[in-house]
Structure 1
């Protein structure tokens, strides 16, 4: 699927699932508390589909898919008929109103735990944390060697590259020295310290990672298998050959090999390979051809496959998956709160915020990596929506909860004037956050 249309499609899937679940939380608890629900809407604006349910609730899907709402019978929005007073929202005890408002974020939290649980039962494929350090980077200066395998970070055992990335991002937010325990290609283990305190303040995590210069080691340019009857087989290439160069262009890893074929074949399909076989260099001539695989645009190929690489699949039984799901939810929530706290005090850059464009891109990428990774993405976004909605900002669920907590303390609702003023403040804050996130998305696209 085209990256643009793929991003749009998976964004709509993501928002459709998470918004529906969030609003269903409000809807379900409102009905249980005896409040009449007039409309359940996924999206804003003009309805593109609607129907009226048995209880008189109007269900609709609207044109703007950036959220949704549950409209309840509310005396603040107009006169309520006497016979309907018992189903009106503001007339309910404050604890019921708190339960109704808190239900949306609570259902997002439940969804996150469930998504992680299913993900761990399916099994999330991941790369083992074998790394390389960019020349003159902070990682290289700290003593990281190409091919080192990270065993633990600050005493926390790690077995996957995504686990390493999560720990690094968390550490970069605090910019404190970080200890790595690694095993080199010679089998010896050693401790290293990344001097993260030398990083300048006010940059986003992406810039910090670039300065750190630590990345997953690419696959070596070794031929895993040769397809019978294809150009490589006809040219005498064998499984296990280590490709040294293509048309005189040195090859350092398997990505370089594919790139060299794509660049050199249009100039001349006859490619001069030099491979290392049984300790000696062997020159080969391979005539590349253009082929279209599985409906994709045609490309230059020679008919080889990469060798199987070591992977770390996180797959557990139902009970262990529940424990891992709760642990992932707790750690991710703690990291999010730390990020918010550091942005509020100026220790972390607001450039770390992402908007709809960023979410769409990550949605497409995670979907292309398989169902387990897409469930991981849905869980993370659902957890973020839970936390965002609990922030004490008027117009968000957290703002309403703040009003109701004040009502509990003072014994009466906050004044209408206070609520109107809060709405203006909430609008200003939300538009500022959305504008900043949108700017960050565009900034990343223009710099990429």
Structure 2
């Protein structure tokens, strides 16, 4: 059941991405020949609004086939009035951007639904206290609840961690222990730790770990919109940062995940409940939007670069260069996919 949910989630995200392209292309007067979810052999299809809508055997991708556009052979062009080729570079860029934009809009909508349902968030309840750390020396104990730091009310673990990291000087901590209020002063210590990219970093810490206690966020309508916006921006920033670190070598290539990881993580999220599925679906939707903006010729970002070239220099990229770059783009794309699957298999058997 979890595996089926994984495929349905991925197919839905791909569908919305391609739907963005579809509506933008139709708005620009481009004829859509095929709208496909998946690749390979056709399983089912129907014709509506002049387009063949089909489901293919391998549902890990999809495409919108516009008249005059063929990534498998860029030399195939049509100059009819309803062809993609006769549109201006600005119109083409609008069509190309619409797919990733649809993913960002979908992620925002999913985070909005999560906010309405009251997302669970870590409470500032202490679990582990590291021996000889500032917290240990100051007398903090397991199950203590942090109520405020330097007069600032604390309601979540994230708020507490951010205040500690950005603090200057000592911290005046108000905490609750067994129904009683205590006041403790301590000095954070710069400590080595690892971040979400497994990089060794240094930051101010006091030597405590979370007890894993969580509570629901109660958000008003304005806070709900802010939550959805902030989560979408944070997810986008996280993925852009991860890609940058991967490209410059700050994160090893073995950390790259593929479609197997996506299916497994979605399956795990399904076991954890529908709220977790929505969280993960929103993150993957942002991921799809960001990845498709990469300047690789086989992706939307690569086509956008070609059109920006034409828009600025007033001439098209030569057909020979276009074909060579497109082939190179597919090689890069399939290499990355292969590396991701290789890493996934290693993780499964390791």
TM-score, normalised relative to structure 1: 0.64
The SS at the match of 2:113 is helix
Equivalent residue in structure 1 for 2:299, among 396, 402, 406: 396
Q: 1:113 and 2:16 equivalent?
A: no
Alpha-carbon distance in 2 for matches of 1:388, 1:355: 13
Superposition map of 1:242-261 within 5 A: none
Q: Which has the larger radius of gyration?
A: 1
Kept after mapping to 2: 8 A contact 1:179/1:194: no
Runs of 5+ in structure 1 lacking a partner?
A: 169-176, 219-309
Q: 1:366 and 2:255 equivalent?
A: no
Alpha-carbon distance in 1 for matches of 2:148, 2:241: 22
Q: 1:325 and 2:216 equivalent?
A: no
Alpha-carbon distance in 1 for matches of 2:132, 2:270: 32
Displacement, 1:206?
5.7
The SS at the match of 2:86 is coil
Q: Hey, what does 2:188 align to over in structure 1?
A: 192
Cα-to-partner distance string for 1:176-200 (whole Å, 9 max, x where unaligned): x94687766654454533523x76x
Displacement, 1:137?
11
Displacement, 1:397?
0.5
Runs of 5+ in structure 2 lacking a partner?
A: none
Alpha-carbon distance in 2 for matches of 1:206, 1:362: 18
RMSD: 3.5
Kept after mapping to 1: 8 A contact 2:34/2:53: yes
Q: 1:445 and 2:333 equivalent?
A: no
Alpha-carbon distance in 2 for matches of 1:40, 1:393: 22
The SS at the match of 1:86 is coil
Displacement, 1:311?
3.6
Q: 1:60 and 2:54 equivalent?
A: yes
Equivalent residue in structure 2 for 1:349, among 252, 260, 282: 252
Alpha-carbon distance in 1 for matches of 2:134, 2:262: 29
TM-score, normalised relative to structure 2: 0.81
Q: 1:378 and 2:281 equivalent?
A: yes
Alpha-carbon distance in 1 for matches of 2:196, 2:342: 14
Q: Hey, what does 1:99 align to over in structure 2?
A: 94
Q: Hey, what does 1:51 align to over in structure 2?
A: 46
Displacement, 1:357?
2.1
Kept after mapping to 1: 8 A contact 2:148/2:154: yes
Q: Hey, what does 1:273 align to over in structure 2?
A: none
Q: Hey, what does 2:312 align to over in structure 1?
A: 409
Query: In structure 2, do the counterparts of structure 1 residues 399 and 435 end up closer, same or farther at CA, with 3 Å as the change threshold?
Result: same
Higher relative contact order (Cα pairs below 8 Å, separated by 6+ residues): 2
